[in-house]
Amino acid sequence: MKAQIEKVFSMFDAIRKIDIEGFLEDARRKIDELKENPTQFALTAVLQLKLAYEMFDCYLKKEYSLPWRTVIAVFGLFLYLINPFDLVPDFLPGVGYLDDALAVGLALKLIRDDLRRFAISRGINLSEYGLD
């Protein structure tokens, strides 16, 4: 139990050490890309969500190993997506899915390296999932 608690604390330390300037630069670059082709972004996010589901399914079946931070991020994301009580209700036109999009984007950013490793282990073309 103590080892698991230490893993959770080390995960939070890693999150705090994120390069804020680099993060903001990445965000600005991604926003510029979205302006050019918003449907491609949505498709990529859906494909990565599908891959995250497959990765998590393999983890639960003990066919693939994942770090605790990834398990928590994926589980938390799926729990948030299926929870009927959102921060912003989905039925609100124009803004109803903004909180879902934020949760998806954040979780995918956190697990990106693990998604890449999983895709490589399964012989999946990284560029088809926007992971190149």
pLDDT digits (tens, 9 = 90+) for 12-70: 565 555 566 776 677 677 667 666 766 777 888 899 999 999 999 999 999 999 999 99
Q: Give 116's pLDDT tier (boundaries 50, 70, 90).
A: very high
Confidence at residue 126, expressed as pLDDT on a 0 to 100 scale: 93
Average confidence (pLDDT) over 112-124: 96
Return the higher-pLDDT residue of 31 and 115: 115
pTM of the model: 0.68
Contact between 115 and 29 under an 8 Å Cβ cutoff? The reply is no
Contacts 24+ apart (CB under 8 A), 46-50: 47/128, 47/129, 47/130, 48/108, 48/115, 48/129, 48/130, 48/131, 49/104, 49/108
Confidence at residue 105, expressed as pLDDT on a 0 to 100 scale: 87
Confidence at residue 23, expressed as pLDDT on a 0 to 100 scale: 64
pLDDT at 1 over 70: no
Confidence at residue 39, expressed as pLDDT on a 0 to 100 scale: 75
User: If you ran DSSP here, which 8-state letter would residue 126 be given?
Assistant: G
